[in-house]
Structure formats: structure tokens, C-alpha cells
């Protein structure tokens, strides 16, 4: 038996799913955290599967979440629906409930957060509500596991006996006549599709083009429907969607008047309003956010994350030296020894040393998300992002991109439209990820010691400005159109769940470690092979004459207009494709120095101007192979991904060339 779990965003849907299935899925306080269908067996019931659908506010095929949920309910025809409703916001939540009832599937209403309703002095007459809606209603508190056993039993009984809703008709007057006229017109088409005629008629009144296409209506039928809707609009003085909304909310208001005793305003809501007076203030919101992020980055890269990263790096170095001693004593073949030490240990080890930084950053981001602050940030940033054709929801993936591009690209799944999602994926790599920090640190210390902080801040700003320019270009060329209307519920501020924060940290750490020992592991071995063998496949000591060195010399003229035509710089950029940290380690190997002494060696390869040009190129050119793999997975197109990689390399080349050539003119 399959039960579909449907409801508004932030209604506690994912919490209920976790409680029912024992899943370790992340639960967040940012609307839209569930962006895919997730399924699991209910604990102790191997014959019972619950599917967690994305949170939606209506059944219109408008956002990607609505399309996923709607398609599953209509095409997959689950045995039953559990509609979870936030009892503290029952009037808003019941709007979706009425549309789900029209589907005619066995359905149970789960009234969630009833503990909060009681705590705030409110009551809901469950039996009366059930009678008004024509479906079973079960009060629950998912976070406390209250009422869950009864909910499961009622859902199984309703689905098993195929008890459909007793009431499907909520309309009256002109809209009643329009819906029923269209219902009779499309009845045979709807039955062929296996959907209730009234549901199909309601969708057609809304102007639902996919539904009209699926029903296979001819031109005469379409004209009749449009004429009927026009008459309804004229009589009511409302457009089609406003008329339907008015019909549903009038019914909901009547139901709530009979069944709900209003609660007093909660302490949490009053507290949230007071906090929002500062955090969403017209003038204070952005300075406060920048201060918060400055604190997060300072704690991550200065106080907590970087020291832990240094300790881990030292531990990896000690283990590498120990392994070197053991392998030398064992008399292992020099080639295999080089593979293990110079390839696997150096490549994977350098990446793993950044694990504490990633975990620390996501610890703070998880707190911001679970507390409800991230929803406010998206709200505040909406106005700014609309100028480049995106909505405020795109800000969260871009923000995550300053930590790591891979989870940032994955975070675009929360975006409601395909256009916004693809645009955000294209722009996110321009946000400087933390893996580039070693490059910035080495070069700024070597060439801009007195202005180190200023140069690093300048690089971040350049990345943001290039992203804005590219956004404007995309908005007026390949990605024309307006961003979707940004509708977001601002949840009350809550203390972050320790379990939720730890789960997110573990998920990110696990994802990072898996990447280190899969994609980056394979890429590291390939780079080692190219650095260690020539075209005759002889093992060589001098990397200049290796396969990689030869390739570096071949492409180095491309970078001459940028000021760094040295083959070693070109080679380092190639290895940087595997992981940006590899740029520094490759330069150290090719110059025969340690990372600590690399600054002096770089003085023979770069001038301050060409060094800055090199930094701009590393900032903007294609992200690491793991990020490219994530982009391919999200774009679902190898051709589109290749185009993105080439475009980013081209943008990086143009930007670095302009900076270098303009700098030469000014210096003259």
C-alpha cells in the first residue's frame, strides 16, 4: 500500500515523514526543504510505504514542486493521501485540502501542531471538521509523536476500504454553474484519463493548459469552455483564478467559523515580530546580514575551521611520512610508492584537510536555516536579485557557493522554476568557494603582503560583479522571462534542533568524504600518471618532460596575453580542474619547493600584475571536477555542462586579459 504525504511548506511534513519511517532525512525551517519525492516503509509495517512529496500551496502546475506533487497524485494514483495541515494556520492550509479532496482519492487529514494550538488557548472540533469536509481528521503533534499510531491506522483503513471523500462540491452561484457545465462537457475525457470530471473542470476554469492538453479537447470544446469562463468572470466581476480563490476561501471561512476557536497570538510569533523589526528592517536588514556572514566566515576560517584544518593537515603529513618510512623499509617499487605518496596521499589528503572547514561552515548555515533566519535573508534579497532576473530564493544557493560549489548547485533544487534553477546554476560558480583560499593566501602573501586583506576582498567582489553582469546577459538573451512571483511564508523563529544540525553536518561531511575517495581519488591518480610519465611511458623525475608538462607547454601561449605564459602556471591550472587546492600543491612540486617556501619561487614566474591576473582567472574559470559532475547531474545534459565549462573558461580568460592589459597601460 502506498500513501502520499502532501501539504503546505513548513507544515511539518518532513518531520512527520521522519517519525513514520525512521528516516535520517534533513528537517529544516526553510520553506521548500523537501524538493524530491522521498519514500520509506512505515516502522513495523513492511507492507506500507509513505511517499513524502514537495510542499505546495496549490495544485496548479506553476512551480517544479507543484508539478512533481501533482504528477505523482494524478499519474501514480497512490492508495491514499495523508494531507498534513498546520493547525495554527488552518485557514491557509485548508486551501490545498479542498483541491486534494476534488481528486477523489481516499484521504485523511492530519491536524499537526495541535499541542501549540492548545498551548495558545485554541480548540478545533475535530468531529465537526471531519463532517464538514467529508474526510477523516486526526489531531497530531508530529514532533512529539502524538497521535501518529491513530493516524496510520485511520489512513490504512481509509485506503484499504477505498473510502473516497463524501463531499466534492464547495461552490455556489455563477462559479457553480460554470464548473458543472464544464464538468458535463469533459466527463468522458476525464474518465478516460482516470481523474474525477469535477477536478478536471476546476483545472480548466483555472486556465490549466497541461490539463486541457491531456484531456485532448477539440477546438469547439475549448471555445465553449472559454465562453463559459468569460460569462462567469463578467457576472462575478473577478478573473477566473480570483473567482476560484474566493469560492474556496468563503467555504473555508464558513467551516472554520463552525469548528475553530481562535487561539491567542503565540509567544513565538510575538517574539518573531520583534526580531523581524530589526532583521528585515528597510535599512538595517542588509548590514545585519553582512555582519552575520562576516562573523560566520571569521569563525569558520579564522577561529574554528582553519585551526582544525591545520591540525588535520599536520596529521595527514605525519601519516604520509610514516607511510613513506614503512614503504621504503618494505622496498616497494618506486613507481607504486610514488603513486601512493605523491598521488593518493598528496591529492586526497590535501582535499581531506579542508573537511573541518566545510563541516564548520555548514554548522553555522544549518543554525541559520533551522532558526528561520535564512527565510528572512531570501525575502530581503528578493528585490536586489530581481534586477538580474532571479528571485530571492536563488540567494541561498549562491550563499552556500562561498563555501563549496557542489552543495550550492544541489541547493538549486529548492527553486520553483526551471528557468530560475538553471540561471542560478550558471551563476553560482562565480561565487568564490573556500577551496580557492589556499591560492589566494599564497599569492597575496607573496605579492601583496601589505594589502593582503584588500586584495582578497576585491576578488570576492569581482566574482559577485561578474555574476551580476552574466545574470543581466542571460536575462536578456538565452533566459528571457521574469522570475516567478516570490511567495514565502516566514516561519516563526525557533531554536535549532540539535539532531537536525548534527544530521546536516554529517550529511555534508559524508558527501565530502565520498567525493574525496571517488571523483577526486580517480582524478588524482590520473594527474599523478600524467605528471610522472612521458610519451614513451617511462617514469621520469622532471615533470617538465612529462605528459602533463608537455600539455602545459602546448597551452601556455594561450595565457601569454594574461601575463603568465610559464608552462608551470598552465599546468597548475589543469590540475586545478580536479580540485582547486591542487593549484598550490602542483606549483610547489613543479618549482621544487614546499608550500611554505612557494612565495619566493613564484617571484620568478609572476609580477604583481600577472599574479593578480592569475588570481582573477582561478577565481572565475571552471570549478573542480566534483562541481562539474554536480552541474551535469542537475542540468541532466552533458552538452549543456560542456557549454558551461567552456563559457566560464572564456569569461575567466577575457576578465584576466582585460585586467592585465589595462594594468600594463596604466603602469606605462
Please classify residue 45 by burial: count the beta carbons closer than 10 Å to its beta carbon, then call 0-12 exposed, 13-18 middle and 19+ buried: middle
Burial zone of 498 (CB within 10 Å; 0-12 exposed, 13-18 middle, 19+ buried)? exposed
Q: What is the pLDDT of residue 571?
A: 85
Point out which residues pair with 40 in neighbouring strands: 50
HSE at residue 234, side-chain half, CA atoms within 13 A, is: 6
Domains 2-160 and 173-261 share a fold: no
Cell numbers placing 335: 613507481
Exposure class string for 466-482: b at 16+ Cβ within 10 A, else e: bbbebbeebbeeebeee
SS3 266: coil
Look at residues 311, 394, 325 and name the one whose alpha carbon lies nearest to residue 354.
311
Regions in the chain scoring below 70 on pLDDT = 23-37, 61-64, 263, 265-266, 301-302, 306, 343, 346-347, 349-351, 353-354, 414, 416, 483-489, 515-516, 519-520, 523-524, 589, 592-598, 668
Collapse the DSSP code of 650 into the 3-class scheme (helix H, G, I; strand E, B; otherwise coil) and give the result: helix
Q: Cα(first)–Cα(last) distance of the chain, in Å?
A: 77
d(CA 202, CA 338): 69
For 320-345, the pLDDT digits (tens) are 888 888 888 888 877 788 778 776 77
78: three-class secondary structure by DSSP: coil
The alpha carbon dihedral of 197, 203, 245, 51 has a sign of positive
Instruction: List Cα–Cα distances, 265 to 87, 111, 122, in angstroms.
Output: 13, 19, 10
* pTM listed for this prediction: 0.67
Q: Which of 214, 229, 276 is CA-nearest to residue 71?
A: 214
Helices 638-667, 452-475: crossing angle, 10 deg rounding:
130
Instruction: Look at strands 45-52 and 107-112 and give their pairing.
Output: unpaired
Torsion angle (degrees, nearest 10) of CA 574, 580, 581, 583: 30
Contacts for 512-515: CB closer than 8 Å, 24+ residues apart: 512/355, 512/358, 512/359, 512/404, 513/352, 513/355, 515/406, 515/626
User: What string of H, E and C letters represents the secondary structure of 353-364?
Assistant: CCHHHHHHHHHH
3-state secondary structure 385-447: HHCCCCCHHHHHHHHHHCCCHHHHHHHHHHCCCHHHHHHHHHHHHHCCCHHHHHHHHHHHHHH
Please say whether the beta carbons of 310 and 356 come within 8 A: no
CB 124, CB 139: distance < 8 Å: yes
Strand partners, 146: 141
d(CA 396, CA 387): 17
Sequence-ordered strand ranges (E) for 253-376: 260-261
Nearest to 29 by CA among 3, 53, 55: 55
What pLDDT does 351 receive?
A: 64
Residue with cell 580540485: 579
Domain residue spans in the chain?
2-160, 173-261, 373-490+517-668
C-alpha cell at 35: 524538493
> Coil, strand or helix: which one is 595?
coil
Q: Which three cell numbers stand for residue 192?
A: 478516460
Report the interhelical angle of 567-575 vs 608-620 (nearest 10°). 20
Question: What pLDDT score does 299 carry?
Answer: 81
How far apart (Å, rounded) are the C-alpha atoms in residues 569 and 668?
A: 25
Q: Are 610 and 564 in contact (CB under 8 A)?
A: yes
Please give the Cα distance from 151 to 149 (Å, whole number). Answer: 5
Query: What are residue 46's phi and psi, to 5 degrees?
Result: -65, -20
Q: Which CATH number fits domain 173-261: 1.10.510.10, 1.20.1090.10, 1.10.287.1770, 1.10.15.40?
A: 1.10.287.1770
Give the integer Cα–Cα distance in Å for 425 and 431.
11
Query: 2-160, what's its fold?
Result: Rossmann fold (3.40.50)
Q: Which of 366, 393, 364 is nearest to 378 (CA)?
A: 393
pLDDT in tens, 446-502: 888 777 778 877 888 898 889 889 988 888 887 777 766 666 667 778 777 777 777
Whole-number pLDDT of residue 69: 84
- Determine the 3-state secondary structure of 574 from DSSP: helix
Dist. CA 287–CA 14, nearest whole Å:
33
Spell out a b/e string for 127-156, using b for 16 or more CB atoms within 10 Å of the CB, else e. Answer: eebbbbbebbbbbbbbbeeebbeebbebbb
58, 98 contact by CB (below 8 A): no
- What is the C-alpha to C-alpha distance for residues 21 and 268, in angstroms, rounded to an integer? 29
pLDDT of 32 reads 46
Per-residue pLDDT, 346: 67
Q: How far apart are CA 439 and CA 461, in angstroms?
A: 17
Amino acid at each position: 500500500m502506498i500513501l502520499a504525504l502532501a501539504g503546505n511548506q513548513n507544515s511539518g511534513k518532513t518531520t512527520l515523514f521522519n517519525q513514520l519511517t525512521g528516516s535520517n532525512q534533513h528537517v529544516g525551517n526553510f520553506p521548500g526543504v523537501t524538493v524530491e519525492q522521498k519514500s520509506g516503509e512505515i516502522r513495523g509495517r513492511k507492507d506500507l510505504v509513505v511517499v513524502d512529496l514537495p510542499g505546495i500551496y496549490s495544485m496548479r502546475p506553476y512551480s517544479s514542486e507543484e508539478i512533481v506533487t501533482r504528477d505523482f497524485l494524478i499519474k501514480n494514483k497512490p492508495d491514499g493521501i495523508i494531507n498534513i495541515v498546520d493547525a495554527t494556520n488552518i485557514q491557509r492550509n485548508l486551501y490545498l485540502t479542498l483541491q486534494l479532496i476534488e481528486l477523489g482519492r481516499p484521504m485523511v487529514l492530519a491536524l499537526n501542531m495541535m499541542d501549540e494550538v492548545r498551548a495558545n488557548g485554541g480548540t478545533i472540533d475535530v468531529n465537526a471538521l471531519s463532517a464538514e469536509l467529508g474526510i477523516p481528521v486526526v489531531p497530531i503533534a508530529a514532533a512529539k509523536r502524538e497521535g501518529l499510531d491513530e493516524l496510520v491506522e485511520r489512513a490504512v483503513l481509509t485506503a484499504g476500504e477505498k473510502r473516497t471523500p463524501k463531499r466534492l462540491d464547495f461552490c455556489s452561484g455563477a462559479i457553480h454553474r460554470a464548473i458543472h457545465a464544464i464538468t458535463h462537457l469533459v466527463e468522458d475525457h476525464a474518465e478516460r484519463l482516470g481523474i474525477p470530471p469535477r477536478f478536471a473542470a476546476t483545472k480548466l476554469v483555472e486556465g490549466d493548459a497541461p490539463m486541457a492538453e491531456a484531456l485532448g479537447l477539440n477546438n469547439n470544446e475549448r471555445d465553449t469552455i472559454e465562453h463559459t469562463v468569460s460569462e462567469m468572470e463578467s457576472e462575478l466581476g473577478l478573473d477566473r483564478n480570483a473567482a476560484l480563490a474566493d469560492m474556496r476561501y468563503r467555504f473555508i471561512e464558513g467551516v472554520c467559523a463552525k469548528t475553530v476557536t481562535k487561539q491567542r497570538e503565540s509567544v513565538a510569533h510575538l517574539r518573531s515580530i520583534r526580531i523581524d523589526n530589526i532583521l528585515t528592517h528597510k535599512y538595517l536588514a542588509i548590514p545585519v546580514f553582512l555582519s552575520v556572514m562576516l562573523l560566520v566566515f571569521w569563525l569558520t576560517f579564522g577561529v574554528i575551521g582553519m585551526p582544525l584544518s591545520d591540525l588535520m593537515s599536520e596529521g595527514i603529513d605525519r601519516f604520509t611520512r610514516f607511510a613513506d618510512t614503512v614503504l621504503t623499509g618494505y622496498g616497494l617499487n618506486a613507481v607504486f610508492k610514488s603513486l601512493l605518496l605523491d598521488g593518493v596521499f598528496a591529492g586526497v589528503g590535501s582535499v581531506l584537510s579542508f573537511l573541518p572547514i566545510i563541516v564548520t561552515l555548514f554548522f553555522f548555515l544549518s543554525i541559520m536555516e533551522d532558526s528561520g533566519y535564512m527565510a528572512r535573508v531570501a525575502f530581503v534579497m528578493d528585490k536586489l536579485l530581481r534586477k538580474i532576473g532571479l528571485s530571492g530564493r536563488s540567494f541561498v544557493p549562491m550563499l552556500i557557493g562561498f563555501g563549496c560549489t557542489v552543495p550550492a548547485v544541489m541547493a538549486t533544487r529548492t527553486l520553483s522554476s526551471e528557468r530560475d534553477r538553471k540561471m542560478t546554476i550558471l551563476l553560482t560558480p562565480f561565487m568564490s568557494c573556500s577551496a580557492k583560499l589556499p591560492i589566494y593566501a599564497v599569492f597575496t602573501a607573496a605579492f601583496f603582503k601589505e594589502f593582503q586583506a584588500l586584495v582578497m576582498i576585491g576578488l570576492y567582489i569581482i566574482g559577485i560583479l561578474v555574476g551580476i553582469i552574466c545574470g543581466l546577459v542571460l536575462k536578456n538573451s538565452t533566459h528571457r522571462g521574469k522570475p516567478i512571483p516570490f511567495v514565502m511564508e516566514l516561519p516563526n523563529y525557533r531554536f535549532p534542533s540539535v539532531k537536525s544540525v548534527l544530521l546536516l553536518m554529517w550529511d555534508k561531511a559524508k558527501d565530502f568524504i565520498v567525493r574525496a575517495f571517488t571523483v577526486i581519488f580517480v582524478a588524482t591518480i590520473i594527474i599523478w600518471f600524467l605528471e610522472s610519465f612521458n610519451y614513451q611511458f617511462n617514469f621520469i623525475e622532471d615533470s617538465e618532460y612529462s605528459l602533463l608538462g608537455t600539455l602545459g607547454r602546448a597551452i601556455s601561449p594561450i595565457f601569454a596575453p594574461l601575463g603568465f605564459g610559464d608552462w608551470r602556471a598552465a599546468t597548475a591550472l589543469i590540475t586545478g580542474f580536479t580540485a582547486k587546492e591542487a593549484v598550490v600543491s602542483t606549483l610547489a612540486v613543479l618549482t621544487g619547493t614546499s608550500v611554505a617556501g612557494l612565495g619566493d619561487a613564484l617571484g620568478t614566474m609572476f609580477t604583481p600584475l600577472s599574479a593578480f591576473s592569475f588570481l582573477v582567472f582561478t577565481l572565475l574559470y571552471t570549478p573542480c571536477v566534483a562541481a562539474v559532475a554536480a552541474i551535469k547531474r542537475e542540468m541532466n545534459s552533458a552538452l549543456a555542462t560542456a557549454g558551461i565549462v567552456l563559457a566560464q573558461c572564456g569569461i575567466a580568460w577575457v576578465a584576466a586579459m582585460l585586467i592585465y592589459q589595462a594594468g600594463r597601460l596604466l603602469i606605462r
